[in-house]
Structure 1
């Protein structure tokens, strides 16, 4: 093929056997003639074929013009990856790519038997793939000979720095020969990566494989607004709606992974968990269950899932929002790989919608804002799948015909069809009913501020008034009332109209079509936080009570003041105080004027005329 002309022949043949018909942009970029044997800093999207790309780029350097590797000795190439799973995945990719060259490929990763790795290195390896910590251990112990090294690849370099491997990477690069070739591959190129490249690369060529500045076209981003209490129910409905062959759910903590795994197991989902507390054997079994179809949903933390490449992963769900744009890109990059389409769904609580909008903008992504699939939408999607089942297009076999006729004669076509539908629906987890959430309009979709008409509360539209049992005297203010109403009542600021503050209560205007949902969200006790009572009013409230209200008769007047009297002359309410006379100082004990009770009289003990008594000194030995 013309696109494979510049590739080492043995690797080109391996690509054809694998079914490759064209190279991805990053693979074409590393084979460009202007790159030659120079160092390179490559930024490309996750899932764009970077492993095959650096495998193709390394071949001329490692083979040195030969068609096959000779007897393996000290390694010629070294690939460093951030996690065990990614390192083992890279090894598998390089094994089929270099199969016809006779290359010996060894792996050195944490969690595996170090003695077996040492024996493999002693037998000889052409390429070594490993994680930073384990590679440093082998170098320190003298098991990994770096003297013959011709090229080093840092895969997912930004991830390795995020995981705190800078010191290990610098140790490995310092131990490698100075004239080596160094290739760095990274989804993003922050300042830390640029600094590392400047220190350990010589005149590196910067390659951006067309994906760094624009959105991955094979990934559909969806931001789903939910009530905070509905996060887990929304995830269930998303999983049920898409029915992906493989799906991955990301959480920020191990505790969240364990909680969701238990919840989804109870809901009849085939689920496995990946977190840092699992052993290497447990992680391998979990990934194998996803690959062979025994499990369909993988719930993982960011660290545990870095570098994982699962086949047919069509759906990524962010149960907890990513902490930064890089994490969002790495999570989403698990899907939409090798030309397949994928969906990245962010579960966004109401109070995190602005934060999510900034997160997407900083990542350079455009998402479709919507609500999660409702229970009715999930059931309709199930019906569509039943109707589209390819089994209906297959002819009835002779073995089946007799029993089919028996079923139809005994039960009839309608009852047989109904039983079939019940069986299909019963095998799946039931969808959840979700609370209605006000739609969210991203800032970019709103009209410019100068084109907007000034808002007027008297044009709010149909509304219902509510009374809250808190007012000015309880320090009520809209700045904390509005967030509390939105949070407890599952509404947004757009559904709140005028707020009228009274001394002992507050009147709030709510959009009419949200009034019933507002009350339902508050609950039957009609109480907000701090025991604030909510009462629905009929019509417009009476605002004539906004003036001064005298204190109730049963309340005691303020200390130092007398009850208010309308006809009292001016100045009559000023309290009169009499200046206390200074008591004469006498030999007796002075009585303090503010003392509640007089002190007890003190009696002088009889004093002896003799000398004062002293303790008898102890006789100590000299």
Structure 2
């Protein structure tokens, strides 16, 4: 680290913490070309991003001084998507800037608003918080950003996924224009790129090693089980690995509660994390894991974001994630800071293809196999007994009692009692049904397509286009069946579609068939001998329906603001659905006016044939149809004919 320009107080803190070297992302933000510039960094969770941006913004916070003076207003702001991640960031910055005398304040949902306001009034140098609560403090005048020199957006992609675009734009617009903005994100989708162009100046793009390479310390296992063996397989995996700490991911809080009850009955030391818990309950659960009082955490995706637990060596996906990004985020809870870990996916026959797509999209390879059997778990237990540290130690104060036990009961009975006590502390392994799920069927060879015409569509991977999403749109636009559509080849900026010659006449030379999407007829066949995506790029997530905003478009304003002083405004507090199916109720900021509330305006119901069309969705392939015949009461009736 001697070749890098690190402020003396921070270098002393790193040395006291035992840092011998820096991670690639930490070295990248300290490079000469990044000094004083806005940066857009893509790096995997667990790669040392918190220390990285703590080191990067040191010149703005310290200003060359060895120790900070009292601050009238915050000098730096760090924004995180969830309360756990925000509190973790505050802890990391606390020891990193401890030698410099920096005061760190937190503003997160679920905590006492008055305590946060008093911390801000005492003069915090750095403020860490979630977008909603930070906006509350700014609107109430408690958080003054006039002296802000640096602003960090941690896990920016997750904040956009959770719907915080409006809050982020409000916060960044309230900050001085001359500030330095650092954005850290696991991926850089169109929304992040748009946000960066709007609020960053001449930003330096920093990309660290790819996701698959950064997950080299994680061993992926795909465990194939019969549907009836899902839960027994989870129990046996936990018993087989006996990790100091493990996390089991479920889709919904109902699944979390169900699995919590089942595991509690089997003598597992287990806690749960879900959106229905208060902040105090969540804090107690995490502390139990850190203290060793609990060894297993069952959690939803939103509740577990930002968790960094020592000794977390095992991640189990009880429910498969919705996309490859979530798979990487889940698995990134283990294998951190050079440690080793295992990420196990529970795969039933109906989930084979989905699991394969997830692994392929994440660019990781998994070992496919069966769940550990009861015999395999018992064999692991026997091996651990033989390696127990107590057996390697010489007798001490207990020597006299040991001799008495041997004399009275004999060595064989004493050893048997030791084995029974060992096994009695653990859940008995589960007997699996032994029914092997059938292997996935091989894809059938598709017959020759015949004479065809090729078209190009003006969307590609950059627009999050996918073949399975485009197929119904094409069929609807030309009023054809899917059998008339051959190959669909998605490229970086466009897509090529093969249409049967007889059906191609319905499209003519092409035209606009969705708002912002054009279809053009080609002469001959397109060049298809190049890869469908850029090197290292993972397949994009499924795009939003074309009837809504196009990717990258600004989000529509919410109908109202919310949040009393004690309100919960982080990743699980919004009325919109979270990725794991959770949503928490919010209270209005102001009391409602007396009298009944005005009715909520309802969107006009689309006419027949317009369900998939955008607001400007006139299509050249549409045929005029009969108008609905009005009924006597004024309601539209069925079309004639």
TM-score computed with the length of structure 2 as normaliser: 0.68
Task: Give distance in 1, aligned partners of 2:181 and 2:67.
Answer: 22
What is the RMSD of the two structures over their aligned residues, measured on CA atoms?
1.9
Following superposition, the deviation at residue 441 of structure 1 comes to 7.3
- Kept in 1: contact 2:225–2:436 (CA 8 A): no
Task: Give distance in 2, aligned partners of 1:224 and 1:64.
Answer: 53
After superposition, residues 220-619 of structure 1 pair within 5 angstroms as: 220-397=219-396, 399-438=397-436
Following superposition, the deviation at residue 71 of structure 1 comes to 1.4
The answer to whether the aligner puts 1:147 opposite 2:121 as a matched pair is no
- Kept in 1: contact 2:78–2:154 (CA 8 A): yes
Following superposition, the deviation at residue 421 of structure 1 comes to 1.2
SS in 1 for 2:99: helix
Task: Give distance in 1, aligned partners of 2:12 and 2:351.
Answer: 51
SS in 2 for 1:320: coil
- Kept in 1: contact 2:211–2:362 (CA 8 A): no
- Kept in 1: contact 2:348–2:437 (CA 8 A): no
Following superposition, the deviation at residue 121 of structure 1 comes to 1.1
Cα deviations by residue, 1:129-150 (Å, 9 ceiling, x for unpaired): 0000000001101111111111
Larger helix proportion of the pair = 1
Following superposition, the deviation at residue 405 of structure 1 comes to 2.1
Task: Give distance in 2, aligned partners of 1:203 and 1:437.
Answer: 59
- Kept in 2: contact 1:87–1:107 (CA 8 A): yes
- Kept in 2: contact 1:214–1:364 (CA 8 A): no
- Kept in 2: contact 1:357–1:442 (CA 8 A): no
Following superposition, the deviation at residue 158 of structure 1 comes to 0.8
Following superposition, the deviation at residue 215 of structure 1 comes to 4.9
Partner of 2:93: 94
- Kept in 2: contact 1:215–1:364 (CA 8 A): no
Cα deviations by residue, 1:247-289 (Å, 9 ceiling, x for unpaired): 0011000100000001100000011010000011111111111
Task: Give distance in 2, aligned partners of 1:42 and 1:448.
Answer: 43
TM-score computed with the length of structure 1 as normaliser: 0.70
Following superposition, the deviation at residue 440 of structure 1 comes to 7.9
Cα deviations by residue, 1:279-330 (Å, 9 ceiling, x for unpaired): 1111111111111111110100001111111111111111100001111111
- Kept in 1: contact 2:236–2:430 (CA 8 A): yes
Following superposition, the deviation at residue 212 of structure 1 comes to 3.5
- Kept in 2: contact 1:43–1:212 (CA 8 A): no
Partner of 1:124: 123
Partner of 2:613: none
Task: Give distance in 2, aligned partners of 1:158 and 1:43.
Answer: 10
Task: Give distance in 1, aligned partners of 2:154 and 2:38.
Answer: 14
Cα deviations by residue, 1:520-574 (Å, 9 ceiling, x for unpaired): xxxxxxxxxxxxxxxxxxxxxxxxxxxxxxxxxxxxxxxxxxxxxxxxxxxxxxx
Partner of 1:47: 46
Task: Give distance in 1, aligned partners of 2:349 and 2:443.
Answer: 22
Following superposition, the deviation at residue 437 of structure 1 comes to 4.8
Task: Give distance in 1, aligned partners of 2:148 and 2:134.
Answer: 14
After superposition, residues 76-225 of structure 1 pair within 5 angstroms as: 76-212=75-211, 214-225=213-224
Following superposition, the deviation at residue 393 of structure 1 comes to 1.1
- Alpha-carbon spacing, 1:427–1:332, altered in 2? closer, same or farther (3 Å): same
Task: Give distance in 2, aligned partners of 1:407 and 1:436.
Answer: 43
Task: Give distance in 2, aligned partners of 1:37 and 1:358.
Answer: 41
Task: Give distance in 2, aligned partners of 1:228 and 1:181.
Answer: 52
Unpaired runs of at least 5, structure 1: 451-622
Between 184-193 and 321-330, the greater mean CA deviation after superposition:
184-193
Following superposition, the deviation at residue 391 of structure 1 comes to 1.2
Following superposition, the deviation at residue 45 of structure 1 comes to 1.1
Following superposition, the deviation at residue 2 of structure 1 comes to 2.2
Task: Give distance in 1, aligned partners of 2:210 and 2:13.
Answer: 26
Cα deviations by residue, 1:187-213 (Å, 9 ceiling, x for unpaired): 122221111111111111111111346
SS in 2 for 1:100: coil
Following superposition, the deviation at residue 447 of structure 1 comes to 13
SS in 2 for 1:329: helix
Partner of 1:16: 15
Aligned length: 446
- Alpha-carbon spacing, 1:215–1:11, altered in 2? closer, same or farther (3 Å): closer
